[in-house]
Amino acid sequence: MFEDLRDLYQEVILDHGRRPRHGSRLAAFDATARGDNPLCGDRIALWLKYAEGGAIERVGFEAKGCAISIASADLMAETVAGISDEEARQLAAALQALAKTGDAPIVPEPLAERLERLLPLAGVHEFPSRVKCATLPWHALLAALTGRENATSE
């Protein structure tokens, strides 16, 4: 029955959606932002901590949303740990392209492996009304990086 949904709900997604590893607020953080999807009520708040050298050390989030958005947030937290702001921006842009088109854009070498871990989110491109679920956490990330308070995924 749901064969064609297996692209969208890959095991990785279901797993991260059900049991996010980074789904909690950071006690100490350097930046924070919220994201809203006004059209469906999804919400996320995230906190970001930098390491000594300036790279992102950790991301934690609290989110209300569907399996896709929670999984995307959790995979985001996983993949941006250890990279610079600039790299995180590139990864966010790549994820947005991936979610919209289904194709992974070419990214500089150090990010390629991280983008690969995000590939399970590619399936969302066939579900226009769900693309925003996948991109919302990344909008919030971008907002945190530029010090803005809110992001919407419209």
Partner 1 sequence: MSVGVSVRPFDVARVRADFPILAQKIYGRDLVFLDSAASAQKPRAVIAAMTEAMERQYANVHRGIYWLSERATEAYENARDAAARLLKAYDRSEIVFTRNSTEAINLVAHSYGRGVLRPGQAVVISEMEHHANIVPWQMLRDAHGIDLRVAPITDSGEIDLVSLARLLEDGRVGLVALTHMSNVLGTCTPARRLAALAHAHGAKLLLDGSQAIVHRIVDVQEIDCDFYVFTGHKLYGPTGIGVLWARHELLEQMPPFLGGGDMISSVSFARSEWAAVPHKFEAGTPPIVEAIGLATAIAYVEALGYEAIAAHETTLVDHALSRLSSIPGLRIFGHAQDRGGVVSFALEGAHSHDIATLLDRQGIAVRAGHHCAEPLMQRLGVESTARASFGLYTTKDEIDALAEGIDRVREFFA
Interface ranges with partner 1 (CB under 8 A): 1-2, 4-5, 8-9, 14, 18, 36, 38-43, 64-68, 127-130, 133, 152, 154
Minimum Å gap between C-beta 71 and partner 1 is 11
Identity of the residue, 88 or 151, whose beta carbon is nearer to partner 1 in the bound complex: 151
**What would the DSSP string read from start to end of the chain?**
--GGGTTTS-HHHHHHHHS-SS-S--SS-SEEEEEEETTTTEEEEEEEEE-TTSSEEEEEEEEE--HHHHHHHHHHHHHHTTS-HHHHHHHHHHHHHHHHHS-PPP--HHHHHHHHHHGGGGGGGG-GGGHHHHHHHHHHHHHHHTT-SEEE--
Identity of the residue, 41 or 53, whose beta carbon is nearer to partner 1 in the bound complex: 41
Identity of the residue, 40 or 104, whose beta carbon is nearer to partner 1 in the bound complex: 40
| Chain centre distance of CA 83 | 14
Would you say the C-alpha torsion 20, 25, 26, 30 has a positive or negative sign?
positive
Identity of the residue, 11 or 86, whose beta carbon is nearer to partner 1 in the bound complex: 11
Minimum Å gap between C-beta 76 and partner 1 is 18
Identity of the residue, 41 or 108, whose beta carbon is nearer to partner 1 in the bound complex: 41
Minimum Å gap between C-beta 3 and partner 1 is 9
